[in-house]
Structure formats: C-alpha cells, structure tokens
Chains A and B, each alone.
Chain A
C-alpha cells in the first residue's frame, strides 16, 4: 500500500487547512464559509479513515518507520476527528470566534492524528508541537484578561515541558543510537542510566500534556480562561493525543523493561485519580471543575498504560471514547448557556431542571457518564479498566479507581443538585443560545453515551482489533 492511500485522512486534513485559509480570507464578518470548509474536510477525513478500516490493512510503515498506519492509528483518527468537529460546531456562530479559529483547530487535529501513528522520536516531537502551538493561540483567542493569562501560562509551561521532552528524547537517542521506537529494545544500552534518565524526562514531558499530577498545575487555569469550544478541544483532543503516544512509545519501545516505568506510572495514576477528583470537589466554576475532573480521568487512563498488558491498552483506548463523548456533551450545554460570558458557575445552574428540563436531563446523562453510573459509556469504560487492573494483579489500582470515582461523584452531584434549586432573583435562562450546530453535538454525544452504556459490544470489538499489540501478554 502506498503512502498516499494509507495517509489519505491526514492529506485530506492538510488540504482542508489550505482551503480553509483561502475561505477565511474571503469570508464576510460573521460568515461561516471557513467553518463549512473545515467541517467538510473533517468529514472527508473521517470517511477516508473508515474506508481504510474496512480494507483491513496490515500495519503499514512509512518514511523510515516514522509513521505506522494500523488499526490503532485509525481508531485514534476517529476520536480526534470527533473532537475537532465538535469544537468547530460549538464555535460555529462565529460571533466571538475569529477567522483563524477553524484553521487552528484543523492544524491541532493534524498533530493529534499524527501522534496516533508515530514510530520515531522526531515524529513524536513534531506531533506534540503541531498539537500544542495552535492551542496556545486558541486559548487566548478571545482577548480577555483571563484568556490572555491562560494563553501565556499555557505557552510558557508548554514550552518548558517541550524542552524537557526534547532533552529526554535526545538522551534516549544518545543511549540507543536510534530514533525508531522498535529498535530501542535491541540496542546495547538497555539498562544504561542514560536511557533511564532519557525515558524519565520523556515521560515527564508527555505526562505534562496529559495533565498527570504533579504536572497538572496548568490545567484548571488554562481551562478556565480559554473559550468554551477550545476548552472542549483541550479536554478531549489533547488527552487523546497524549495518552495514545504514551502507550505507543512504551508498548513499542520499552516493552522489554516494564519494571523500569510500570510501577512509577502506577503510583502516578493512583495519585492523579485521588488528587484530581479531590480537587474537583470544592470547585464552583464548572470549567475548573471539568479541568480537575479531567485530571482525574487522565489518572484512570494511565491505569491502562501502567498495567502494561493488552487488556490495559484496550481499556485505555476504549475509555477515551465515553470520556470524550461526555466532554463534548457537557461543553455543548455550557456553550448554550453562556455564549456571552466565559464561565458558568454552579449557582448559574439553579432552576435549570424547571426551566430547561431537556437540557437538564442531558446534562444529568453526561455527568453520570463521567461518574461511571451504569447504562452510560463511562461505566463500561471503568469496568474495562477494573478488569485490566485485576488481571495484572494490581488491586491497589482497582481500589484507587474506585476511590477516585467516588470522589468524582461527589463533584458531579453538586451541579446536579443545583439544577433543582429554585433560583433567587431573576432567571438567567434567558441568555440561552441554541444553534443547530449545538444540537448536532448534543445528539451525537447523548446517543453515543447511552449507546455505549447499553450495547458496547461493537466498540469493544473495534478496540480489540486496534490495541492488539500481540507481543504484550
């Protein structure tokens, strides 16, 4: 198979970026031409991805092993494209989003897609940077004080972590003498301190992007200051990108020495699940709440990596989908509520159950999916992760997952109960802005969330095909 066939989804996105740039130049103020072009590009890439999937390709390696197209990367493509399209649709109205918005979303999506398929160190770093740079700009794109702070903080800390990552990659290269993940294990210096130091710094750089405690400080501030659709993109897309590259790197490059990194990641997962969900408890700003809960969910994802088994890889990949669907659904509702302001607090939700019962019902579904209540996808994901932890004889991780879930539940229940409180003073439900694009996101999110909870079998099957790293056991 030629590179142009296997990389068709990525090529479509690249072309879409160029066309969207032209469309953005000719667009009238408030027009949506550029967004349409970008959306069509994303749908085209999605179509190409599904087409490739149905061709049952064997893993195809390109450009001196720097890119690998397999079912894993195709599944990641689907996740990223869902995230990108939901971001576009939530920022559709164009009143507050500028011309560059769809372009930057597409470029970031390209970075995330490439992270699912990278097989060498240079491609890894490029993918991380292509993902990050557009997000630095996007997070400050509303030009508010908080937004500027968010953008600057994200840029500085992101650049710092990129530096650490790059240093780590250089040390790994120095120790092994190769850029390709698959050759690390066969290099002579498997147990050299240089390689250990390089791996540690690389992991720190990647865990920073994933938002793992203790590298999580930027998450809530950046989420709080960024525009709502951008926060949605960071909460879903960035997590997908960082989690899948972490798994790819460790499963391809360091599968021979899990004792070097497995326990460390296990303890970090434990810490992240507890701390992230614990800090979500007292939040009043819903974006900060989702920021901390996102940290907690990153801890859940890390279980799948830390157990170093094929069940773990599948479970992590599966969990990204229900998590992401709940994120886009919840952010769709927040976007509908607060188009004229940056944040929504818990007290803003008061009276929602009475005045907007359908929106309240959907919000309940998404919160329950976060919390892992059955009949939503979140429960199935947690069940999968529990299996992974217990098959790996790690009851500590299982108990940590349960404790984290439990703390998270407390955080999600507060907004739910607030919806039933009668509101003092005037209603704030008048500022609702319901666009067709929001409704599309909501429908996809709720159908996906409930569908995954009731009949997850097809997705479990696809995930089994995707994360079948046969050399793991």
Chain B
C-alpha cells in the first residue's frame, strides 16, 4: 500500500496546492514533501514490496509496481531532492510552479516503481511535461526554445522506444498469442537478427537522451542553464538518473546478448562522454555550465559502470546514481543561492565572496569536494566500484576514467577558487540565513552518512542486482 501512497501523496498534493495555493503554496508543498519523505521512511522499514493489479487486461498491460534495492533509493533520492528544491524555490513563483514540481515528483516516483513496460513508458513521458512547463513559464524568454528542445529531443527518443516496447511484446506474444508487457516475463524474448539491432537502438537512444550521454546531450546545456536553479537541481539530480535506471531496469534483463555484442563500442561512447564533459567543464565561464558539464561527465561514469557488465561496475553505478543525485542537487542549490545574491553566473566577475558569506562558502566547498570524488564522501565510493569493475573487464578504460577524475578535481577546485577565493571583483553579498543553513546542512549530513556508511545502500542493492548480474554471468559476462 505504501507504494501507492508514495505516488498518491504528491499527485493529490499537487492538486491541493493548485486549488488552495496562493501565498500558502510554498509552505503547503513543503509539508507535502515532508509527508512524502515520511512515507519513504515507512517503505524503507518495510523492505522490498511489489503490487500487481490488472490495468488493461485485453493487452496484458498490468499496473505492476514495486520497490527493490535498485529503485528503493532512487525513490528516496526523489523525495529528498524534491523537498530541497521546494525549500530553495522562491515563493513568488506561484502555485502553478509548485504544482508542476509536485507533479514531477509523482512522475519520477511512478517511473522508479514501474515494473511493466507500458506503465514505465507512461511515466517516462509524463515526467517530460512538468519540466516543459517549468522551463516555459518560469525562466524568461530564453527558456522557451530550451523547453522546445527538451521536449522534442526527448520525445524523438521515447516515441521510437514506444515502437520498441510494442515490438518486443508482439514478438514475445507470437508463438503463444497472449500479450504481456511485464519486464520479468519478457526476459526470455527471442529477437531475430534482423530486428534485434533496431529494437536495441530504440531503447538505447531513448535512455541515452534522457541521461544525457554524449552525443545525445544537445538539449542539456540550454535546459540546465535556463531553468530556475531548483529545477536544474531536479533535472540533474533526479531526472538524469532515469536514463541510467532504464539501462539497469530494462536493458540488462532484455538485451543482454546485444549489450555483450556491442560492449566495446558502448564503453568507448561512455568514455568519450566522460572525457568530453570534463574538458568542456574546464573551459566554461558560467558557473552553472561548469557543474552542468561535470554532471554530463558523471553520467558517462555511470554508463561506464553499467556497460562494464560486471557486478562491481553495476553496483557502483547504482550507488553513484544516488550519491551523485544528492551531491549535484546540493551543488546546484548552492549555485542558485549565489546567483540570487550576485545576480550573475559568470565566474570572472565574482571572487572573494568567502569573506562575505563564510557559511555559504563552507557548504559550497563541501559539495564541490563531494562532486570531485573526495574519499570519505559517497562520490568516491561509487567511482571506486566502477573502476574496480572496469579493471576486471578492460584495464584501459579504467585508466582513462582515473585520468578524467583528476580533471574533475581541477575544474571543481577552479570553480570554487574563482567564486569564493581570489581577488574580490563584485559588490559584497550577505550570508545564507538560518533556514537555508538548515536544509543545506541536513542534505550535507545525509551525504556524509552515505560516504562513511555506503553499505546502507549496497547491502540493499546487491541482492536486487543479483538477478541482473546473474543474467550477465549466464549470458556470457563476468560474474561476481
């Protein structure tokens, strides 16, 4: 039941905010965010659960939702980051803004819970809509082309994935004559050599666009730059994980032979993305763009972990999804506060702000260090596991990944130094207030906890990944 409540709370809440709204909108949605978080804690206490109802029996479409080690912590990430984003949002945006934020939370939770392909696809497209309107309505004239690009690029991918979904189900139904869209029952589908590459590509491109992975990241710079900072935090923190989650949830069980077949090519793509993101981050002057490209680089890292097709790599990717979501979400929120205070995003016109805002500086430094993968913080754990997986598969990719991690340290430190240290170039600003310290500090505490006790996630995630990894082993990959 708690699975349904996790979906129902933000959905009902969003309409409550829309109707009751007005001045109360921000407080009300923060309250709903807290309730959602409590519901997640209840779910955490429950452990893995699943529900399976009939939805459209004529097509074998089922309302099959569940939370296992793979999705449990992504649901938690959604709950935490949405709450942070609500705190960080301006109350003056009005009720429609908070409606869309909560609706986005509904869509994300639904996506992470879905175990039926049609249901998954429904939420996959539903999450496009709130982002489209958040970009269209709340980020000025430049936001509209960004929103257009966002929706159109993502829909190209997902519409072709829809053909792929129906094609898989139809091919699976051919000998027996009954349709099913449940992922667990489709795993034994036999794709002929003529159609397999096309169906594989339809899924792969959809997930790669959503993540985004190089070279499918065309929508990313505009959307990340133009969105209001809390929305950017949600985009890069939660939304981007949907793509990697799709690889883990759908592609590993359904397309293992194809993944094996194209593995080297996929690893090369991922490693190019990793390096491309890092070097692009190095030459940006807009602080939001630096973290946007660093996020692109990290998505490449997660993809490397998945495509290594080893237990350690996949576990590392799972862990890094949650860790990176929290870290980059916090980073974008801090950057948003900075932008609010200085009215600019250019690193070159800032500097020396540490004297004015020591508390803000401390949290900024914390998130920057977490993002570059400082040992003791969770980013390091994920990256370590991924590199371990890569070493087991092919040491060349591990070497490249390690080199890029050094570049990551470079651009992150450069960002922090440019803004907070160095010569003062702009006018003085005020420090963050107690409320801001409150929510940023709790996010930081959560990150520290995951850094020193990663087993909190990996112990839960490993059994769920066992099935996927088992498939890897039986279909010709490296097992544990």
Contact = CB atoms under 8 A, between A and B. Distances in A.
Interface string B141-183: 0001001100110011001101100110010000000010000
Contacts of A319: none
B118 interface: yes
Nearest to B147: A417
A374 interface: yes
A399 B163 contact: yes
Interface string A223-258: 000000000000000000000000000000000000
Interface in A443-472: 455-457, 460-461, 464
B163 A390 contact: yes
A472 to B, nearest CB: 15
B58 A461 contact: yes
A118 interface: no
A386 B162 contact: yes
Q: Is the interface of B mostly helix, strand, loop or mixed?
A: helix
A409 B158 CA distance: 13
A395 B194 CA distance: 12
A406 B156 contact: yes
Contact of B96 (A357, A374, A375, A379): A357
A383 interface: yes
B137 A420 contact: yes
A368 to B, nearest CB: 7
Interface centre among A374, A387, A405, A417 (most CB of B within 10 A): A374
B166 A402 contact: no
A439 to B, nearest CB: 18
A398 B163 contact: yes
A398 B147 contact: no
Contacts of A17: none
Nearest to B125: A374
A353 interface: yes
Given A374-B121, A375-B126, A387-B170, A417 B148 contact: yes
Nearest to A387: B166
Contact of B56 (A390, A405, A409, A460): A460
A417 B152 CA distance: 13
Contact of B122 (A353, A374, A387): A374
A417 B57 CA distance: 37
A360 to B, nearest CB: 10
A368 B148 contact: no
Contact of B163 (A368, A379, A380, A402): A402
A373 B58 contact: no
A299 B316 CA distance: 47
Contact of A395 (B57, B152, B155, B163): B163
B166 A386 contact: yes
Interface in A386-414: 386-387, 390-391, 395, 398-399, 402, 405-406, 409-410, 413
Interface string B214-228: 000000000000000
Contacts of B147: 417
A395 B96 CA distance: 40
A379 B151 contact: no
A160 B56 CA distance: 44
Interface residues of B, number: 32
B159 A417 contact: no
A456 B56 CA distance: 7
B54 to A, nearest CB: 8
Contacts of A386: 162-163, 166
B160 A402 contact: yes
Contact of B59 (A374, A379, A398, A460): A460
Contacts of A402: 159-160, 162-163
Given A390-B170, A409-B152, A413-B151, A457 B125 contact: no
Contacts of B144: 417, 420
Contacts of A405: 159
B77 to A, nearest CB: 23
Contacts of A455: 55
B170 A374 contact: no
A383 B54 CA distance: 17
A449 to B, nearest CB: 14
B129 interface: yes
B60 to A, nearest CB: 11
A398 to B, nearest CB: 5
A387 B165 CA distance: 10
Contacts of A398: 163, 166-167
B136 interface: yes
B122 A375 contact: yes
Nearest to A375: B126
Contacts of B57: 457
A353 B97 CA distance: 12
Contact of B166 (A357, A374, A379, A390): A390
A409 B155 contact: yes
A405 B159 CA distance: 8
Nearest to A463: B58
Contacts of A410: 152
Contacts of A374: 121-123, 125-126
Interface in B13-33: none
Contacts of A416: 136
Interface string A355-394: 0010000000000100001110001101110110011000
Nearest to B99: A361
B122 A379 contact: yes
A353 B99 CA distance: 14
B56 A457 contact: yes
Contacts of A383: 59, 118, 162, 166
A460 B167 CA distance: 20
Interface string B55-88: 1111100000000000000000000000000000
A14 B253 CA distance: 60
Contacts of B136: 416-417, 420
A416 B137 CA distance: 11
A384 B169 CA distance: 13
A395 B162 CA distance: 12
Contacts of B155: 406, 409
A390 B162 contact: no
B116 to A, nearest CB: 13
**Which of B144, B147, B152, B155 neighbours the largest number of chain A CB atoms within 10 Å of its CB?**
B155
Contacts of A390: 163, 166-167, 170
24 contacts: A353-B96, A357-B96, A368-B129, A374-B125, A374-B126, A375-B126, A380-B56, A382-B162, A386-B162, A386-B166, A390-B167, A390-B170, A398-B167, A402-B159, A402-B162, A406-B156, A410-B152, A413-B148, A413-B152, A417-B144, A455-B55, A457-B54, A457-B56, A457-B58
Question: Would you list the 5 A-B pairs with minimal beta carbon distance, nearest first?
Answer: A374-B122, A402-B159, A390-B170, A386-B166, A374-B125
Given A373-B125, A373-B126, A457-B56, 9 more contacts: A379-B122, A390-B167, A395-B163, A410-B152, A413-B151, A417-B136, A417-B148, A420-B144, A455-B55
